[in-house]
Amino acid sequence: MSNISPHSTSASSAKSAREATKNNSTKSTIRKKKKREDRNMFVDHETALRFLDSRINVERTDPNKVDSDVWKLDRMRAMLNVLGNPQDDLEIIHIAGSKGKGSVCNMLESALEGCGYTTGVFTSPHLISITERVRVGGQPLKESLFDSALEQCRDAAFDVEEQHGKATYFELLTALSFLVFAQLAVDFVILETGIGGRVDCTNVVKPRVCGLTEIQLEHTDILGDTLELIAAEKAGIIKSGSVALSINQSDEVKQVFRDHAEKAGASLKFLGENVPYSRRFQSGVGKGPHARVCVGEEGEGFEHLSVPLMGMHQADNCGLVLAIILELRNLGFDLSERMVCAGLEQVASRGRLEKILDRPRIYVDGAHTPESVRETLKAIGAHVDYDSLIVIFGCAADKDVNKMLLELDRGADKILFTQVQDNPRSMSPEDLYSRFCEELQGTSMAETKPSVRDAINDAARAVGGNDLILLLGSFYIAGEAKQLVEARKSRR
What string of H, E and C letters represents the secondary structure of the chain? CCCCCHHHHHHHHHHHHHHHHHHHHHHHHHHHHHHHHHCCCCCCHHHHHHHHHCCCCHHHCCHHHCCHHHHCCHHHHHHHHHCCCHHHHCCEEEEECCECHHHHHHHHHHHHHHCCCCEEEECCCCCCCHHHHEEECCEECCHHHHHHHHHHHHHHHHHHHHHHCCCCHHHHHHHHHHHHHHHCCCCEEEEECCCCCCCCCCCCCCCCEEEECECCCCCHHHHCCCHHHHHHHHHHHCCCCCEEEECCCCHHHHHHHHHHHHHHCCEEEEECCCECEEEEEEEECCCEEEEEEEECCCCCCEEEEECCCCCCHHHHHHHHHHHHHHHHHHCCCCCCHHHHHHHHCCCCCCCCCEEEECCCCEEECCCCCHHHHHHHHHHHHHHCCCCCEEEEECCECCCCHHHHHHHHHHHCCEEEECCCCCCCCECCHHHHHHHHHHHCCCCCEEEECCCHHHHHHHHHHHCCCCCEEEEECCHHHHHHHHHHHHHHHHHC
% residues pLDDT > 90 (the chain): 81
Least confident of 15-24, 63-72, 378-387, 407-416: 15-24
pLDDT, position 22: 55
pLDDT, position 21: 55
Confidence category of residue 389, pLDDT binned at 50, 70, 90: very high
pLDDT, position 17: 56
Does pLDDT of 457 surpass 70? Answer: yes
**What's the rounded Cα separation, in Å, for the pair 243 and 248?**
16
pLDDT, position 13: 55
Cβ 470 vs Cβ 380: under 8 Å? yes
**What's the rounded Cα separation, in Å, for the pair 304 and 273?**
18
Between 420 and 6, the more confident residue is 420
pLDDT, position 8: 44
Average pLDDT over residues 192-202: 94
Confidence category of residue 62, pLDDT binned at 50, 70, 90: confident
Does pLDDT of 287 surpass 90? Answer: no
Average pLDDT, the chain: 91
**For 329-384, what is each residue's pLDDT tens digit?**
999 999 999 999 999 999 999 999 999 999 999 999 999 999 999 999 999 999 99
**For 88-131, what is each residue's pLDDT tens digit?**
999 999 999 999 999 999 999 999 999 999 999 999 999 999 99
Average pLDDT over residues 312-318: 96
Does pLDDT of 5 surpass 50? Answer: no
Confidence category of residue 9, pLDDT binned at 50, 70, 90: very low
Average pLDDT over residues 26-42: 57
Domains of the chain, with CATH numbers? 58-344 (3.40.1190.10), 354-491 (3.90.190.20)
Confidence category of residue 66, pLDDT binned at 50, 70, 90: confident
Average pLDDT over residues 317-340: 97
| Residues contacting residue 212 through CB under 8 Å, at least 6 positions apart | 95, 96, 97, 234, 235, 237, 244, 245, 246, 247, 249, 257, 320
Confidence category of residue 309, pLDDT binned at 50, 70, 90: very high
pLDDT, position 95: 98
Confidence category of residue 424, pLDDT binned at 50, 70, 90: confident
Does pLDDT of 77 surpass 50? Answer: yes
Between 299 and 94, the more confident residue is 94
Does pLDDT of 295 surpass 80? Answer: yes
pLDDT, position 374: 96
pLDDT, position 7: 43
Confidence category of residue 488, pLDDT binned at 50, 70, 90: confident
Does pLDDT of 418 surpass 70? Answer: yes
pLDDT, position 86: 98
**For 227-286, what is each residue's pLDDT tens digit?**
999 999 999 999 999 999 999 999 999 999 999 999 999 999 999 999 999 999 988 667
